Amino acid sequence: MRPFYRLLSHLKNYKLLLAGNIACNVLMVLFSVVSIPAIIPFLNILLDQQPMVAEAPSSALSTNNFTEYVNFWLSQVIAEQGKRRALMYACGAIVVLYFLRNLFRYLSQFFLAPVRNGIVRDIRQQLYEKTIALPLSYFSEERKGDLLSRMSADVQEIESSILNVLVSIIREPLMIVGALSFMIYVSPSMTLFVLGLLLFTGLVIGQLGKMLKKQSREVQQRLGALVAMMEEGISGLRIIKGFNAEKFQSEHFKKENNAYRRILVRLLWRKDLSSPLTEFLGVATVAVLIWYGYGEVQKGGLTVATFFAMLYAFFSMIEPAKIFSSAYYNVQKGMAAVERIESVFNAGLKIEERKDALPITNFNNCIEYRNVSFHYNDDIRTALQDISLKVPRGKIVALVGASGAGKSTLVDLLPRFHDVINGEVLLDGVNIKNYRLHDLRALLGIVTQEPVLFNDTIFNNIAFGMEHATHEEVENAARIANAHDFILETENGYDTNIGDRGVKLSGGQRQRLTIARAVLKNPPILILDEATSALDSEAEKLVQDALDKLMKNRTSIVIAHRLSTIQHASEIVVMKEGRIIEQGSHEVLMKRKGEYQKLVKLQTF
C-alpha cells in the first residue's frame, strides 16, 4: 500500500480544489438522499393515501416532526387548493432536488479535473527528473523502451484507472450509506437483506480484484516490452533494412504484440465482469425485497408509498455499488502501474553528493587516477584493474586500445558517471567525491563519439545547458568549430530545426555542432571520444581542424582513433583488458615494438 499512499500524497498540493470537490460531493449525496423520501408524498397523493394532518407538529428538530410537517403542509394545500395543486408542488420539489443534485455533481467534477490532471503532470515531471538523475549503470540494466512506457503508458494508466475514480471512492460510499440509513429508518428487517447482499458482493469482488491486480502487472510489463521493441525498431531501421530483416523483425514484433493482446483480453474479461455481476446480485435482492415487502404491506407495517420508496432507495444503491465495484477493479488495475513507476522512484542514485561537499571553480594542477579498479554492477568481470595515471594541466593524453579495453569506462569516472570500486580519482590532489557534483562537471567539456543532438534549433543545440549564452558567443563558437558557414546555408540559419538527433545534418556537420557546444562552454578539461564514422576527406579535415582548435591550451583526455591525434598527444596510454600495458610518446612506443606498434600497423584504435 505504500505506493498508493505516495500517490495520494500528491493531493496536498490541491487542498482547496479537493475541498471543493468533497463539499460538492457531500451536497450532491445530500440532495440525492433527500429525493428518496420526497417521492412518498408524491405517491401518497397519486394513490389517494396522503394522511391528513390537522395540527402543526411541535418545533422540535427530528425526522418524525419533519415528516409530520410535510404532511401538515400538504394537507393544508389539498384542503385549500386541491390534490392537483398539491401534486404539482410535490413534482416541483422533486425537480428542484434533482436539479441541485446534478448541479453539485457537475461542480464536483469541475473541481476534480485540475486535481486529476495536475497529479499526472506532477508524477510525470518527478519521474522524468528521477530518470535523468539516475546513474548510467541503471540504463544498462533496463530497456529504454520499457522506461518510456512507464513515463507514458503507466502514468496515463494511473490517470484513467485511479485518479479518474477518486470521485467514486468518495461519493459512492456516501450515497450507499445515505440510502441505507433511510432504509434502516423505514424497515431494519428489510435492510438486513441488503446488507447480506453487500457483504457477499464485497467478498466476490475482493477475490476478483486480487486476480486483476496480478494480471494488470503482467499487462504493463508486456506493454513495456512492446514499446521497447518499437523504439529499437525505429532506432535500428538502417540495420534492419540493410540486413533485409524486415520480415524477421515484423514476426518478432507480431509474436510480442499477440502475447500482449491475449493477456489484455483476459484482463478485460475479468474487469468487465464487475458491473453485470453487481447488477445481477442487485436484481436478485430486489426480487427478495418485493416478496418480503409485500408481506409487510399486507400486515400494515408499511404503506405502499413507503414500500416503493424503499425499492427506490435500493435501486439508488445499485448504481453507486456498480460504480464503486468498477472503481475498485480500476484501482487494482492501476496499482500495477503505480508499482512499476515506484520501482523507478526507489532506484538508488548511487552517485551521491556529500552534504559537506567542497566547491570548485578552477583546475590548476593535475588529474590523477590512483590504483583505480571498477566493474559494472553484478558483472564479475573487471572493467578496470589497478589503473594509475596522471594527466598534468595543459597536456593531451591519448587513450588507445582495442574495443572493450576500458577506455570509455576510464573517462566516465572523471565526471562521476560511475564511481570507482577501489582506489580514487583526484583533481588537484582532492578526491572528486569530495567536490560538488555540479561544480565538478562544470569544469568538463564532453564530446562523444556519436554526436548527441536534440530536436531543436541549431542555436539551442550549441547553447545547450548555457541558458544565458548570447548570439554573438554562439556564433563565435561555431566559427571556431568550422560550423558557421554551413549553418548560414541552412534554411533559417541558427534558428533552423535540425530534426530528431540532428537527422537533417550530415555526419560531419553534427560532429562540428557538438564541438561548437564544447567550445562555448569553454571548460579547462576536455573529454573527447573521436568519431570513427567514415567522412569524406573535406569533412574529416574540417572536423580535425575544429578538434585541434578545441584542444588547444586545454587539458585533454582523448579516446583516439586518428593517428594524427595520437602523434600530437603529450602522452599515449595503451590499454588492454582493463589494464594499462604501455605508456609513453609515439616515438618511444614504436621503438618498443609492443602492443602499440601492432595497433598502429593494423590501424585498430
**Residue 11 has what pLDDT?**
82
Segment 463-476 mean pLDDT: 89
Task: Please name the residue that has the C-alpha cell 410537517.
Answer: 69
Higher pLDDT, 195 or 251: 251
pLDDT at 59 over 90: no
Residues 210-232: what's their mean pLDDT? 74
Least confident of 64-73, 179-188, 321-330: 64-73
pLDDT on residue 289: 73
Between 71 and 473, the higher pLDDT residue? 473
In this prediction, residue 149 carries a pLDDT of: 78
Give mean pLDDT, residues 349-365.
Answer: 87
**pLDDT score at 316:** 78
Return the pLDDT at 369: 95
pTM over 0.85: no
Q: SS in 3 state form for 189-232?
A: HHHHHHHHHHHHHHHHHHHHHHHHHHHHHHHHHHHHHHHHHHHH
Residue 39: pLDDT over 60: yes
Q: Which residue has the higher pLDDT, 194 or 441?
A: 441
Rounded Cα gap, residues 144 and 340, in angstroms: 14
Partners of 528 in the beta sheet? 447, 558
Question: Which of residues 383 and 71 earns the better pLDDT score?
Answer: 383
Position 424 scores a pLDDT of 95
Looking at residue 159, what DSSP letter applies? H
Q: How confident is the model at residue 358 (pLDDT cuts 50, 70, 90)?
A: very high
Grid cell of 66 as nine digits: 419533519
List the one residue out of 90, 80, 86, 78 whose CA is nearest residue 52. 78
Secondary structure (DSSP) of 574-603: EEETTEEEEEE-HHHHHHHTSHHHHHHHHT
Does the structure show a pLDDT above 80 at 197?
Answer: no
Least confident of 300-314, 446-460, 567-581: 300-314
**Amino acid 100: pLDDT:** 92
CA dihedral 328, 329, 334, 336 (to 10 degrees): 110
C-alpha cell of 339?
508499482
CA–CA dist 18, 12 (Å, integer): 9
Q: What residue type is assigned to position 289 of the chain?
A: L
Task: Tell which wins on pLDDT, 486 or 308.
Answer: 486
The predicted pLDDT at position 533 comes to 53
Q: For strand 422-427 and strand 366-374, is the pairing parallel, antiparallel, or unpaired?
A: antiparallel
pLDDT at 368 (0 to 100):
95
Q: How far apart are CA 594 and CA 582, in angstroms?
A: 8
pLDDT band at 212 (very low <50, low <70, confident <90, very high): low
d(CA 527, CA 559): 8
Element (H, E) at 371: strand 366-374
Give a three-class secondary structure readout of 379-412.
CCCCCEEEEEEEEECCCEEEEECCCCCCHHHHHH
> Of 57-61, 65-69, 139-143, 382-386, where does mean pLDDT reach its minimum?
57-61
Give the model's pLDDT for residue 370: 95
For residue 536, name the pLDDT band (cuts at 50, 70, 90). Answer: low
Concatenated DSSP letters of 415-457: TTSS--SEEEEEETTEEGGGB-HHHHHHTEEEE-SS----SSB
pLDDT of residue 99: 93
Strands 396-400 and 571-576: parallel
Share of the chain above pLDDT 90, in %: 20
| H/E segment holding residue 486 | helix 484-488
Whether the predicted pLDDT of 592 surpasses 60: yes
CA dist., res. 495 & res. 273, Å (int): 55
Q: What local confidence, expressed as pLDDT, does residue 561 receive?
A: 77
* pLDDT for res 94: 81
- pLDDT confidence of residue 50: 55
Q: How confident is the model at residue 494 (pLDDT cuts 50, 70, 90)?
A: very high
Q: What is the DSSP string of 4-27?
A: HHHHHGGGGGGHHHHHHHHHHHHH
Q: Which of 26-30, 130-134, 271-275, 337-341 has the lowest mean pLDDT?
A: 271-275
Q: What pLDDT is attached to residue 215?
A: 73
Q: Is residue 411 predicted with pLDDT exceeding 90? A: yes
Q: What is the pLDDT of residues 68-109, one digit of tens each?
A: 666 667 777 777 787 777 778 778 888 888 899 899 989 988
In the predicted model, is pLDDT for residue 236 greater than 70? Answer: no
How high does pLDDT run on average in the chain? Answer: 81
28-47 average pLDDT score: 74
| Contact assessment for residue 3 and residue 338, using Cβ atoms and an 8 Å cutoff | yes
**pLDDT at position 480 over 60:** yes
- pLDDT for res 593: 86
Sheet holding 430-431, edge to edge: 384-392, 366-374, 422-427, 430-431
| pLDDT for 209 beyond 90 | no
Domains annotated for the chain, with CATH where assigned, are 2-13+109-345 (1.20.1560.10), 453-522 (3.40.50.300)
43: pLDDT confidence band, cut at 50, 70 and 90?
low
pLDDT for res 243: 60
Residue 335 has pLDDT above 70, yes or no: yes
